[in-house]
Amino acid sequence: MENKVEYSEYCKAKNEMRAELNAMTQELFPEKYYHNLVEVYADFGYKRPIKAEVNWAALGSVSAEDAVKFAQLLTKAAELASNFKYNGFKVYYTDED
C-alpha cells in the first residue's frame, strides 16, 4: 500500500521543520539577520512523492567562528531533511486522490 498524507498535515509538518531550523539560525546568529540562510524544502509533484532537500544562500566570506556556526546549521538542516517523516509519501487533497 502506498503511503499518503493529507496536504494540511504535510504543510504542518513542513512548517514545524522550518520553524526549528529558523529558531536555530536565530540562536546561532543573534547579532545578525540571516533569515532563510539555510532552508529545508519538502517538495512533491504530480505522482512524485515528497522529498525533503536542503538549500543554502550564498554567504560570502565570513569569520572562522561564523563558518563553524554555519556548518552546524547546515548539518542540522541535513538531519531534518533526512528524517522528515513524510519523505516518500504522496500528498492527497481529497479521499479520491
- The torsion angle over the Cα atoms of residues 28, 29, 33 and 39, rounded to 10 degrees, is -30
The CA-CA-CA angle for residues 54, 60, 62, to 5°, reads 100
The chain-wide mean pLDDT, for the chain, equals 88
What is residue 34's predicted lDDT score, i.e. its pLDDT?
A: 67
Contact (CB, 8 A) for 54 and 17? no
Q: What is the pLDDT of residues 23-64, one digit of tens each?
A: 999 999 888 766 678 889 888 887 789 999 999 888 789 899
pTM above 0.75, yes or no: yes
Query: What is the share, in percent, of the chain residues with pLDDT greater than 70?
Result: 93
The residues, ordered by sequence, that sit 6+ positions from 49 with a Cβ below 8 Å of its Cβ are: 3, 87, 88, 89, 90
What is residue 78's predicted lDDT score, i.e. its pLDDT?
A: 96
